[in-house]
Chain A
Amino acid sequence: MNDSPKFVLTIRKLALMFRRDFTVARSYRFAFLIEMFQALFGSASFYFLSRFVQSPTLQKSLPPGTTYFSFALVGIAFFDYLSVALSTFDSSLQEARQNGTLENLLVTQTSLPVILAGSSIYPFAWMSLHTAIYLGWGAILFGFPLQGANWLGALIVLAASVLAFSGLGILSAGYLLIFKRGNPVNWVILGLSSVVGGMMYPISVLPKWLQYVARLTPVTYSLEGMRAAILNHATLRELLPSIAGLLLFAAILLPVSFGIFSWALRRAKITGTLTHF
Chain B
Amino acid sequence: MENFALNLENVEKYFPAGASGWRAFVYPVSQLTVPALRGISIDVKKGETLAVVGANGAGKSTLLRILTTLLIPTRGHAQVCGFDVSKDPAKVRLQIGYHTGGDACFYSRLSARENLMLFAGLNNLSARDASQRIAELTEPFHLGDLLERQVRTLSTGNIHRLGLARAMMHRPSVLILDEPTRSLDPLAAADFRRFLLREIVGAHGTTLIFASHTLAEVEQLARRIAVLDGGQLLACDTLDGIKTNTGAETLEKSLEILTRHATREIK
Q: Do A and B bind each other?
A: yes
Interface set of A (CB-CB < 8 Å, partner B):
1-2, 4, 9, 12-13, 16-17, 19-20, 23-24, 27, 99-101, 103-111, 115, 178-179, 264, 266-275
Question: Which of B68, B69, B105 has its CB near the most chain A CB atoms (within 10 A)?
Answer: B105
Q: State A101–B29 Cα separation when bound (angstroms).
A: 26
Contact across chains for A109 and B94 when beta carbons are under 8 A apart:
yes
A109 engages B122 (CB within 8 Å): yes
Considering the chains assembled together, what is the distance between the CA atoms of A190 and B125 in angstroms? 40
Please name the residue on chain A nearest to B163 by beta carbon: A104
Determine whether B216 belongs to the interface, using a CB cutoff of 8 Å to chain A: no
In the complex, what's the smallest C-beta–C-beta distance from A267 to chain B, in angstroms?
5
> CA of A199 to CA of B123 in the docked complex: distance in angstroms?
43
Which residues of B are found within 8 Å of A266, using beta-carbon distances? 72
Residue numbers in A under 8 Å from B100 (CB-CB) = 103
Q: Is the CB of A16 within 8 A of B121?
A: yes
Give complex CA distance A267, B94 in Å: 23
A272 near B118: Cβ-Cβ < 8 Å: no
Residue in B closest to A101 when the chains form the complex, CB atoms: B105
Selected contact of A178 from candidates B15, B28, B68, B104, CB within 8 Å = B28
Q: A2-B126, A27-B109, A109-B93 are in contact. List 14 more A-B contacts (CB 8 A).
A: A12-B121, A16-B121, A20-B118, A24-B107, A27-B150, A101-B107, A103-B100, A108-B93, A109-B94, A109-B124, A179-B25, A270-B32, A270-B71, A272-B36
> How many angstroms between the C-alpha atoms of A256 and B36 in the bound complex?
33
A225 to chain B, nearest CB (A): 36
Residue in B71, B96, B104, B126 whose beta carbon sits within 8 Å of that of A269 in the complex: B71
Residues of chain B lying within 8 A (CB to CB) of residue A24: 107, 109-110
Distance, CA A23 to CA B109, complexed state (A): 8
Q: Which residues of A contact B102 (CB under 8 A)?
A: 100
Partner of A108, one of B15, B16, B123: B123
A1 engages B70 (CB within 8 Å): no
| A109-B118 CB under 8 A given contacts A1-B170, A100-B102 | no
Evaluate contact between A99 and B72: CB separation under 8 angstroms: no
Contact A2/B124 with A16-B118, A20-B107, A99-B108 known, Cβ cut-off 8 Å: yes
B12-28 with Cβ < 8 A to chain A? 15-16, 25, 27-28
| Measured CA separation A27–B28 after assembly (Å) | 38
Contact in complex: A101, B106 (CB < 8 Å): yes
Q: In the complex, which residues 120-140 of chain B have their Cβ closer than 8 Å to any Cβ of chain A?
A: 121-126, 129
B62: interface (CB < 8 Å): yes
Instruction: Determine chain A's interface SS by DSSP, over half rule.
Output: helix
At the interface, yes or no: B190 with Cβ under 8 Å from chain A? no
- Give chain A nearest CB distance to B171 CB in angstroms: 9
In the complex, which residues of chain B have a beta carbon less than 8 angstroms from the beta carbon of A9? 124
Residues of B contacting A108 in the complex (Cβ-Cβ under 8 angstroms): 93, 119, 122-123
Determine if A269 and B72 form an interchain contact, defined as CB atoms under 8 angstroms apart.
yes
Q: How far is the CB of B215 from chain A (nearest CB, A)?
A: 26
Interface core residue of B108, B110, B124 (most chain A CB under 10 Å): B124
| 27 interchain pairs, CB-CB under 8 A | A1-B125, A1-B170, A9-B124, A13-B121, A16-B118, A17-B118, A24-B109, A24-B110, A27-B109, A99-B108, A100-B102, A100-B104, A100-B105, A103-B105, A104-B105, A107-B69, A107-B96, A109-B93, A178-B28, A266-B72, A267-B29, A268-B28, A270-B71, A271-B30, A271-B32, A272-B36, A274-B70
Given known contacts A109-B93, A267-B29, is B122 in contact with A13 (CB within 8 Å)?
yes
Chain A CB within 8 A of B98 CB: yes
B38 in the interface, Cβ–Cβ < 8 Å? no
Q: Are A99 and B110 in contact (CB under 8 A)?
A: no
CA distance A13 to B123 in the complex (A): 9
Interchain CA distance A275-B61 in the complex, whole Å:
13
From the candidates A17, A19, A106, A271, name the one contacting B70 in the complex (CB within 8 A): A106
Within the complex, what minimum Cβ distance (angstroms) separates B165 from chain A? 13
- Asked if B60 lies at the interface with its beta carbon under 8 angstroms from chain A, I say no
Whether, in the assembled complex, B90 has its beta carbon less than 8 Å from a beta carbon of chain A, the answer is yes
Chain B 146-177 against A: per-residue CB contact (8 Å), 1 yes, 0 no? 00001000000000000000100010000000
Cβ-defined partner of B93 (8 Å) among A99, A107, A271:
A107
